Amino acid sequence: MTEPRPWTTPPAPVLAGLLAALLLAPAAWSAPPPPRTSAGGPHAERAFVDALMARMTLAEKLGQLNQPPGVGNNTGPAAMAGSEDQVRQGQIGSWLGTRGAELTCRLQRIAVEDSRLGIPLLFAYDVIHGMRTIFPVPLGEASSFDPEEVRNAARIAAVEATAHGVHWTYAPMVDIARDPRWGRIVEGSGEDPYLGSVLAAARVRGFQGDDLAAPDTLLATAKHFVAYGAAEGGRDYDVADVSERTLHEVYLPPFKAAVDAGAQSIMASFNEVAGVPMHAHGPLIQGLLRGEWGWDGVLVSDYTGVMELMPHGVAGTREQAGRLALHAGVDVDMVSAIYLQDLPAAVEAGHVPLAEVDASVRRVLNAKFRLGLFEDPYRYCKDGARQQAMTLTDEHRAAARRSAQKSMVLLENEGDVLPLSKSLRTLAVIGPLADEPWAMLGNWVGIGRPEDAVTPLAALRQTLGAQTKLIVAKGAAIDDDDRSGFDAAGRAARQADAVLMFLGEHPEMSAEANNRTSLDLPGVQEQLALAVAATGKPVVAVLLNGRPLSTGALQGKVPAILEAWFPGVEGGNALVDVLFGDVNPSGKLPVTVPRNVGQVPIYHARRNTGRPPAEDNRFSSKYLDVHWTPLYPFGHGLSYTRFEYAPPQLASAQVSAADPRQSVRVRVTNAGPRAGAEVVQLYLRDDVASVTRPVRELRGFQRVELQPGESRELEFMLGFEDLSLYDVDMRRVVEPGTFTVFAGGSSEAEQSARFEVVAP
């Protein structure tokens, strides 16, 4: 790779003179812009961007708002990529799906050295749960309830992605998802806005690091703004008809957390909200996000999202779609090329104010300034050795293994079948996913490769060696009705001391556009599991999937069930660590698991009706054919040891509504035989309020590691954000009255205490 021409930064006095000359002397406008460091604060940023914008033509401004798909694009339907000649003409501000140190440096060199203004490009890529070192899918990471582990995974992803020339990731997805039929539930943190907010902030901090101008930081994008997870019927791209209260209480909090954590980018969602498509929703983008929250980052469309205002039915032409989106505050037009092609005439005709164009251009240039690209446009790609040295390192693989261990949720363990003994003479390994590398990686895998992944079968062979005979039988495919392999699976089970079954979904059964009407195991896998369990041998079912699965038919028949999600590049090793007891499982469900799809939506923070479900009241809110309770509640997760909770202790029986701070202390004891980690969860209920409230809301959690017999007292602090609600006038207030706190290992925690909030 040819070494790019270095840039140098002039001293501050020289820079000031150059800026003044640019502003006052039109003759200088044809010269390249002065290089600029990100140091100097917002005044320096504004002065630099002002000077640059004063030299830009309308075509060059709209070019900054244009993002075509590039080489390596792996998302969305097929679309024509932009050209190098467009870069020379200043018609491209950023590229989608383009990576690689050599390629990005070549394109950057064209932008910087061959275009009139030399404005550097941004390279965007979907780095969702790893670049080359693939971590568990985000729903799996959320099961760890470990913000630091989640932050570290994003930090490693940023290190690898930036070594490949990437500046901008379209992650984290912070959509709250309460319908597991929706394929994109796999990309987020589940159903709870508190957990979702904590992990949204952790991922933003991981991607963006401590200094955005450092050469290993990515622009983080909180997506999809907003209520994308509320799509009707769990159908991707569908409408979201949510109330203002639900919007503010459930779907907006993770975005606010991401903004507060410093997220420099947000992506608009495909859906409409109450009749207004989000790509044209000025009140939420310009009014709430930019106005009320004071956010000044880049709002990027989703793939062809601007163009899709036409099939939504709010725009009749491409120009109308572009006008609506730009006016609403969508800065970057991904793939549609409407801003570039259709808005020049609209601006010149006075249909689009130039001020709206300038506002969006400013935000794009600000992002490039904050990344340090004007100081050194090649900072992410000029060191080709870094790309190799920082990719899939031993340290990164170790972190992926640790993350996978923490993400696994032990759903059932009747008779303490788990952990298995490493001295087993024979072990049957059954199921379609025992040796499938892509079942480790999952979906949205960046540049992850199947050959990098350690499968369960490979890890078992490596760990157990020759002392344990492995009897392998596939049994059935993932999603067809062929039962011809059942007999071989039964024979394998009968010959073995214990049975491991690896069941679940193909990765393409979840993620974007991959929605399901059933939450059962696909194909005949459930029947396979029951047939193998009928042999009477100890059976462990390991689930590899991207959404909660309704496995109620296995309860009482398959004694041990481990939810492993799609666990990442080190998934096989992590599974063996957990199955054989080297690691005690500690994951907790970030989403409620229904008994069947007919219970959807079902989530822990529900509101009661006037007739709550009751066993002795036929006329209450429940079903005829299944119990109203879930198969597994939010926060559920077993361990190889046992944890006991004492009633929570409150600092005060009363707190003032004017200063509603309450300390809650929770003592937890490891009452079992093994060391283990527990996620201690704190829930809150506003007992009587001016509006209906959830039966309980998650308001805190802490992971704690305890030795057998060890106790620990943990403190949780409650404040205004925890105790407040939106009243009938949608004002955020703390109302006098009683509150109940619950502490335990799931959302069904029973230990409780009550305190009162009194009027000041």
List, as one string, the DSSP characters of 594-663: PSSGGG-S--TTPBP-SS---TT-SSSS--SSS-SS-SB-TT--B-SS-EEEPPPEES-SEEETTB--EE
pLDDT, tens digit (0-9, with 9 covering 90-100), for 368-396 = 999 999 999 999 998 889 999 999 999 99
Average pLDDT of the segment spanning 658-682: 98
- 549 — phi, psi (to 5°)? -115, 140
Q: How far, in Å, CA of 154 to CA of 159, rounded?
A: 9
Q: How far, in Å, CA of 341 to CA of 607, rounded?
A: 49
* The token pair that represents 399 in the structure block: 């972190």
Q: How far, in Å, CA of 260 to CA of 582, rounded?
A: 39
Give the pLDDT band (50/70/90) at residue 344: very high
Spatial contact of 171 and 615, defined as CB atoms under 8 Å apart: no
pLDDT at 70: 85
CA atoms within 13 A on the CB side of 667: 8
pLDDT, tens digit (0-9, with 9 covering 90-100), for 128-164 = 999 999 999 999 999 999 999 999 999 999 999 999 9
Percentage of the chain surpassing pLDDT 70?
93
* The token pair that represents 566 in the structure block: 């799609």
pLDDT, tens digit (0-9, with 9 covering 90-100), for 489-522 = 999 999 999 999 999 999 999 999 999 999 999 9
Q: How far, in Å, CA of 705 to CA of 586, rounded?
A: 10
The CA R_g of the chain, rounded to the nearest whole Å, is 27
pLDDT, tens digit (0-9, with 9 covering 90-100), for 391-424 = 999 999 999 999 999 999 999 999 999 999 999 9
Q: What is the DSSP letter of 6?
A: P
- pTM reported for the whole predicted model: 0.95
Q: How far, in Å, CA of 717 to CA of 656, rounded?
A: 15
Average pLDDT of the segment spanning 649-674: 98
List CB contacts of 176: < 8 A, sequence separation 6 or more. 188, 190, 191, 192, 193, 196, 229, 230, 250, 251, 254
Q: How far, in Å, CA of 469 to CA of 418, rounded?
A: 19
Q: How far, in Å, CA of 739 to CA of 712, rounded?
A: 25
DSSP secondary structure, 77-129, as one string: S--PPP-HHHHHTT--SEEES---HHHHHHHHHIIIIISSS-PPPEEEE--SS
Q: How far, in Å, CA of 94 to CA of 52, rounded?
A: 17
Q: Is 759 exposed, middle or buried (0-12, 13-18, 19+ CB in 10 A)?
A: exposed
Q: Say yes or no to pLDDT of 431 above 90.
A: yes
Residue 409 Rama label (left phi>0; alpha psi -120 to 50; beta)? beta
Q: How far, in Å, CA of 203 to CA of 224, rounded?
A: 15
Q: If residue 402 lies in a helix (H) or strand (E), which one and from where to where?
A: helix 394-407
Q: How far, in Å, CA of 37 to CA of 551, rounded?
A: 56
* The token pair that represents 721 in the structure block: 């954000």
pLDDT at 34: 40
pLDDT at 145: 99
Give the pLDDT band (50/70/90) at residue 71: low
pLDDT, tens digit (0-9, with 9 covering 90-100), for 279-311 = 999 999 999 999 999 999 999 999 999 999 999
Query: Of the candidates 735, 734, 733, 752, which has an alpha carbon nearest to the alpha carbon of residue 743?
Result: 752
Angle (nearest 5°) at CA 166 between 161 and 168? 105
pLDDT at 181: 98
State the catalytic residues. 302
What is the overall mean pLDDT for the chain?
Answer: 94
* The token pair that represents 28 in the structure block: 């200088």
- Give 16 or 509, the one with higher predicted confidence: 509
Hey, how many other C-beta atoms are within 10 angstroms of the C-beta on 474?
18
Give the pLDDT band (50/70/90) at residue 42: confident
pLDDT, tens digit (0-9, with 9 covering 90-100), for 168-194 = 999 999 999 999 999 999 999 999 999
Q: Is 556 exposed, middle or buried (0-12, 13-18, 19+ CB in 10 A)?
A: exposed
Amino acid at 506: H
pLDDT at 382: 86
Average pLDDT of the segment spanning 623-628: 96
pLDDT at 27: 32
Mapped onto helix, strand or coil, the DSSP state of residue 227 is coil
Report the chain's terminal Cα–Cα distance, integer Å.
Answer: 69
